[in-house]
Amino acid sequence: MPSMDRHERPAAGSASASAPRKRSAAGGQAKGAGDGSFGAGSASGDPVPGPCDAAASGGDAEAEGADMRDISKAEMAEGWSRVLERSRRELGQGPHDSWVSQLSPIGIEGGIARLAAPTVFIADWIDRHYAGALLRLLREEFEDVARVEFRAVPRGLSAGDAASPGAARPAPASRAGSGRAPAARNGRPTWSDEDFPDSRAAPKGARRGDPAADQAGEGRDERRDERRDERRDERRGDHAGDRGDARRSGGGGPIPIRVTRAASESGDPADSPSLPLDPRFTFDRFVVGKPNELAHAAARRVAEGGEVTFNPLFLYSASGLGKTHLMHAMAWRLAESRPDARVVLLTAEQFMYRFVQALRSKDMIGFKQLFRSVDVLMIDDVQFIAGKDSTQEEFFHTFNALVDQGKQVVISGDRNPVDIDGLEERIRSRLQWGLVVDLHPTDYELRLGILQSKHEMLAHTHPEVEILPRVLEFLAHRISSNVRVLEGALTRLMAFASLVGRPADMDMAQECLADILRASDRKVTVEEIQRKVAAHYNVRMTDLLSPRRARAVARPRQVAMYLSKSLTSKSLPDIGRRFGGRDHTTVIHACKTIEKLKDTDSQMAEDLELLRRMLEA
Ligand SMILES: Nc1ncnc2c1ncn2[C@@H]1O[C@H](COP(=O)(O)OP(=O)(O)OP(=O)(O)O)[C@@H](O)[C@H]1O
């Protein structure tokens, strides 16, 4: 952890002029890191540009101890509200709402300002990212604050209780995510308010209401009532959990469910939300090449079941490049390396489905226990929950609870978390907390390796079919879109060869795969889209890329951005750059606008259809 020096060093100039409300806060003795207190000091890197009296530095604080007094929680509260105000302005609404607003003051003692965070995870995150800024803001309000510390204070305790040793949990000493204090006591988890953060714990401004739940016929008021019931259930559940007889999820539902090892004490597989593992998706059958070697290595490392090093592990790629395969492979391997571990793998859609089911059956306690008692949680296609507020909130709390306990979380998505539109900022930042790895588009060697491996496997079941090596090379050259398409082409070719009773040669491949080959040839580029859109709306290319905001230019530009997002695999920032260096949020706005217009303006719908057909022709 970086030293305190940077925050403690007196800055040039005095603070008094700029901080009229300042109060002396340094106490008799500036406590050091070895005072048994936990949490992060003012450790995170950024230097403090703001006011900093000489008296605030550790040694001077000791020397002047007699003149300085401690500040109680109550006294600190008033100044803290102003610190919050400034944090909102200076750090921005997003970081403020997601993180800083979750803090509450404990007091200032010996020059150390102590703040309570609801979980270790949050304490650690704030320490790593906002400690410097907060120290500066605190100093503007309270003179002589030399350090700031964050304590994880269970919600059942008041912030004041945190002053007593052992009442609160330390932020982890290591940033790697290991060594976190598990919430388990006496060898099994105990359920408390902290484990079940609810709306009280949600950051201010957190939105409610899940469109999916709405679709499922859940009215907002009804949900509010349900959540009230849930909270009551949860409070009761604290005790039920201790007795080990808490209610379980009713399970069932239309999604087939199984788990590598039942994630429920009842041992009933119906209680588990996990997917059946696909026997084809193992590490043995995963072909490694340059484009996916890092993702493969990270997945292997996590699956070996050693110390939790990357948490979460976030895998992302375009469709069909092996994310799901890798996740299943990890689950298979974990079943061997950690046979006792409760491993749950499911899609984000299934997570939402279970959540909505639990809401309807008023069994949130069962849902929470189910997901928070796992050792490894893997969620595929996380982009599905983007824009689904209630599900995101539940996911957020589940994620926090597991990471706080040092449990491994693995997530996959179709793009980098920063590019997932509709994802709450706090979730986005958590997803980036561990290791984010992408699987790059395949190269020729990898595609050929995959074809050869699949061919060998298929040859076992169809020994009568022969495919000439040149044909595999031809397919690897021509089909570069995704591995799923490549596999489909091979399977079709083998079936065709088997039916006609001839070896698959180049002619046969050309004939029976004509549509796939044609589709693979077609690659729409952003530049092509820009040209076609400019021509269609009769605007100049230079205008399309210029800062001009006149409707006549802005609308075609939005259309071109929208088509670039839907017809190419370019990321939002990349598209923004290609449109005269615009920000990715402009692209998001454009996509949303056109998406809406498509439904309400028939001319727009027609234009889009026409352009799409021209581009795909
Ligand atoms: N490196 C690889 N080696 C062997 N098979 C692969 C490899 N990459 C992908 N595949 C195969 O390609 C198919 C698609 O892979 P998978 O479903 O894992 O993709 P995905 O990235 O999860 O796609 P989506 O985002 O559409 O869900 C699977 O049958 C998988 O076995």
pLDDT tens figures, 544-561:
999 888 889 999 999 999
Burial class (CB in 10 A: 0-12, 13-18, 19+), 495: middle
Contact 418, 133 (CB under 8 A): no
Q: Residue 567's closest CA among 533, 602, 600, 534?
A: 533
Centre of ligand 1 from the C-alpha of residue 297, in Å = 16
Tell me the C-alpha distance between 287 and 448, whole Å.
Answer: 10
Unique residue bearing structure tokens 């001839």: 502
Alpha-carbon dihedral angle through residues 315, 320, 321, 325, given to the nearest 10 degrees: 70
Cα gap 406→376, rounded to integer Å: 10
ipTM for the complex shown: 0.99
323: annotated binding-site residue? yes
Atom from ligand 1 closest to the CA of residue 446: 1
pLDDT for position 596 = 92
Q: Which helix (H) or strand (E) holds 107?
A: strand 104-109
Determine the distance separating the centroid of ligand 1 and the alpha carbon of 489, expressed in angstroms: 14
For ligand 1, atom 24, which residue shows the shortest CA distance? 319
Q: Which domains does the chain have, with CATH numbers?
A: 5-163 (3.30.300.180), 211-438 (3.40.50.300), 444-521 (1.10.8.60), 526-616 (1.10.1750.10)
Summarised one tens digit per residue, pLDDT across range 126-165 is 887 788 889 888 888 887 788 899 887 755 444 444 444 3
Question: Looking at ligand 1, which residue's alpha carbon is closest to its atom 10?
Answer: 322
* Cβ of 321 below 6 Å from ligand 1: yes
Q: What is the pLDDT confidence band of residue 481, given thresholds at 50, 70 and 90?
A: confident
- 3-state SS class at 407: coil
State yes or no: 391 annotated in a binding site: no
- Cβ–ligand 1 distance for 442 under 6 Å, the answer no
Our answer on whether the CB atom of 443 is closer than 6 Å to any ligand 1 atom is no
Q: Does residue 191 carry a pLDDT above 90?
A: no
Expressed in angstroms and rounded, the spacing between residue 553 Cα and the centre of ligand 1 is 41
Model pLDDT, residue 139: 86
Distance 219 CA to ligand 1 centre (A): 38
Asked if the model's pLDDT at residue 503 lies above 70, the reply is yes
Asked if 16 and 103 touch (Cβ cutoff 8 Å), the reply is: no
pLDDT at 525 over 80: yes
Secondary structure class of 48 (helix, strand, coil):
coil
Atom of ligand 1 nearest to the CA of 325: 18
CB of 382 sitting under 6 A from ligand 1: no
33 burial level (CB within 10 Å; 0-12, 13-18, 19+) = middle
Q: Does 79 carry a binding-site annotation? A: no
Nearest residue (CA) to ligand 1, atom 14:
320
pLDDT for 107 = 86
pLDDT score at 571: 87
Question: What are 115's strand-pairing partners?
Answer: 105, 150
Q: Which residue is closest in CA terms to ligand 1's atom 31?
A: 325
311 Cβ neighbours under 8 A, 6+ residues apart: 177, 403, 406, 408, 409, 433, 434
Amino acid at 83: V
**425 alpha carbon to ligand 1 midpoint, in Å?**
29
Looking at residue 272, its pLDDT comes to: 56
Residues of the chain with pLDDT > 90, as a percent, come to 33
Is the bond into 312 cis (omega within 30 degrees of 0)?
yes
* Whole-number average pLDDT of the chain: 72
Residue 615 pLDDT grade (very low, low, confident, very high; cuts 50, 70, 90):
confident
Q: Is 320 annotated as a binding residue?
A: yes
Ligand 1 centre distance from Cα of residue 322 (Å): 3
